[in-house]
Structure 1
Amino acid sequence: MGTLTMWMEIEAHQFDPFASVLTWEQVIKPLYGLETDLTVVEENEASLENVLNVYEKRLGESKFLACNTFTLVDLHHLPNIQYLLGTPTKRLFENRPKVRTWVDDITGREAWKLACDHDKSWFG
């Protein structure tokens, strides 16, 4: 339980701040006709890279972030990851083999695919 809680805190305080800004700049702002601030994107990508380097190391020790099974920790990452996979930031996930496998595993879950059904969901 301690490991699970720790990784939820890491997601909330280390991953989400950068991922949310990147989602805002590259996905949400363009939807409203606003221009993406590329300087903000570059700065936040650099910070997210540092976080993903830690994730890459951790994912060498377990299949998912908290343990070898899918947990809330992984679920909490899904919305921002889903959006970022449609942006140039996708490369940050793809350039790290263990992170790429993890992203494929969590985004490939049937329940997540149903949640992202473009006709009936929040995504799309």
Structure 2
Amino acid sequence: VLLISLRKFFSSESRAIARHILRKCKPEFLGAGSLKESAMVDVWVDVDAHQLEPVLKPIVFNCIINPFVGRDVDQGLVDESVEKLKKLLEVYEARLSSNKYLAGDFVSFADLTHFSFMRYFMATEHAVVLDAYPHVKAWWEALLARPSVKKVIAGMPPDFGFGSGNIP
């Protein structure tokens, strides 16, 4: 469990830790330039945490992790999650049809929080779902093109390291 302790402040929630660090070091990633941008960052961070991640988790776990640890794949749960994802991607498509990134026309913490589970989802056979959402796909490809994201990807094997035996 990741834990940050700064004087009397403790947190083990990764988004809270990241927000704290960004407020100190890179406030522009939180939309610090305007209240509207800041609110949009918060909205999309919450959408990731409470809507997207819970839909992606069953897909990622069943398609990548379960086969490597000898657990059965719950195909019904995967199919149900893919259908929920399609509905959610319609919301993303609408947002990204008028904005390059989730909080506006700037890369923000909101975009970056989406990266971890999306990266692993994109390593599954269900990644083709994005083909039906051209603005979502363009957003994803724009994130992947960033040099900092390329560095992060290098440390994130698409199979969580299970295939190589190097489990992170």
| TM norm structure 2 | 0.68
AA aligned to 2:58 is V
2:137 matches 1:100: yes
Percentage of matched positions with identical amino acids: 26
2:94 is aligned with 1:57: yes
Cα distance in 2 for partners of 1:31, 1:73 equals 31
Q: Deviation above 6 Å: which 4+ runs of structure 1?
A: none
Query: Residue type of the partner of 1:123?
Result: P
Structure 1, unpaired ranges of 5+: none
For each residue in 1:5-59, what CA deviation from the matched residue of structure 2 results, as whole angstroms up to 9, or x when unmatched? 1111111111110011211111111221222111000000111111100000000
Q: Give the whole-Å Cα distance in 2 for the aligned partners of 1:86 and 1:56.
A: 21
* Runs of 5+ unmatched residues, structure 2: 1-37, 159-168
Aligned-residue RMSD, C-alpha: 1.2
Distance in 1 of aligned mates of 2:151 and 2:156? 11
Q: Which amino acid aligns with 2:94?
A: K
Aligned-pair CA distance for 1:98: 0.4
Equivalent position of 1:123 in the other structure: 157
* Structure 1 residue 101: Cα displacement: 0.3
| Greater C-alpha radius of gyration | 2
Matched, 1:112 2:149: yes
Q: Which is worse superposed, 86-95 or 55-64?
A: 86-95
Measured after TM superposition, the shift of residue 60 of structure 1 is 0.8
Q: Give runs of aligned pairs for residues 8-19 of structure 1, distance below 5 A.
A: 8-19=45-56
CA deviations over 1:94-114 (Å, ceiling 9, x no partner): 221101101111122111111
- Asked if structure 2 preserves the Cα contact closer than 8 Å seen for 1:78 and 1:107, the reply is no
CA distance in structure 2 between the partners assigned to 1:122 and 1:88 by the alignment: 18
Aligned length: 121
User: Residues of 2 paired with 1:18 and 1:79: CA distance?
Assistant: 13
Q: Is the 8 A contact 1:82 1:107 kept in 2?
A: no
